[in-house]
Structure 1
Amino acid sequence: GARHAVLLGSHGLPRGATSGMGQDLADTISAAMTGIQAYSRATAQFVGDPDFQWRQTVIEFEHGWIFLIAAGDGAFLAASAAPDCDIDRFTARLADAVPSLAASGATGAGRSGDA
């Protein structure tokens, strides 16, 4: 059910993206996902969690899922999946992939194998 993924650095700029994703889309998604991640962190105060440490955000849309997973040092992985995706399995697989992606220092959105 995976569609695309973008690895974002702590500055919010893409460090890598799935093959076939152009630079324009990677830049647009990076801006949108950075805003969503900030929004998600801000809502912790709204729900009353003073010890909150952001790890992930999962959003369901009619047309699919968006996953944001912490990738260390302020970086995070944004991924999209089909509407019929098994979100528990997908989230676990993303979390398993993050350490190797972060360690590889992926760069250059749109190149095969970057994220």
Structure 2
Amino acid sequence: MTAIVRVDRDGIISHWNSAAERLFGFTQPEAIGSSLELIIPQPSHACHRDGFAKYVASGTKTLPASVTAVGRHKNGQPVKFRISTTAMRDDRGAIVGVEGLMLAD
């Protein structure tokens, strides 16, 4: 099953499906409204913030097709997964969020 996580342009989680719960260990109520940094290991927070801000500002349609990443499970353990992302846009074409599709690697 594919984990689907959507965040707004500030990196706040707005959608978290049951596969995301299984992959990362956080329930939907724990995840919705939290920063995406919830599932990003602490040493990578600043790098992720910078990269995400540049991605949103650039207007790029997608990140690389599919990349391997390492996240953080609720229990603190690393989670290796493959992710592909797509920008979500408003009627004017501005990025309003990002959707990530993730599979355990």
TM range (shorter): 0.3 to 0.5
TM norm structure 1: 0.44
**Radius of gyration: which is bigger?**
1
Higher helix share: 1
Q: Which has the higher contact order (CA 8 A, sep 6+)?
A: 1
Q: TM-score, normalised by structure 2?
A: 0.47
Greater strand percent: which structure? 2
